[in-house]
Amino acid sequence: MNLINRMTQKTTSYVDIKCTWLRDILREVCMDIPSVSLASSKPSIERRNLFHVRGDLKLRFESTTDDPENAAVGRH
């Protein structure tokens, strides 16, 4: 999803988070980023914020267990 600021004409890209386990991980990883709020019913995050937490996300991915809910993790 892209939003355009009417004043500056700057485009901001957002990523919709549909997967519950990814949403939960992002909540933990982005806890200290004040501009990120994943508490809504349709959570989304700015694409640039994902770039800044990619190292933490990679560590979480590598430590993912064989939880049935996370079965699709390896395929993505």
> Can you give the pLDDT at residue 59?
85
> Can you give the pLDDT at residue 47?
83
> Can you give the pLDDT at residue 32?
79
> Can you give the pLDDT at residue 73?
55
Partners of 13 in the β-ladder: 2
> Can you give the pLDDT at residue 67?
56
3-42 confidence digits (pLDDT tens): 776 787 888 788 888 888 888 888 888 877 777 777 777 7
Dihedral sign of CA atoms 29, 35, 37, 40 in order: negative
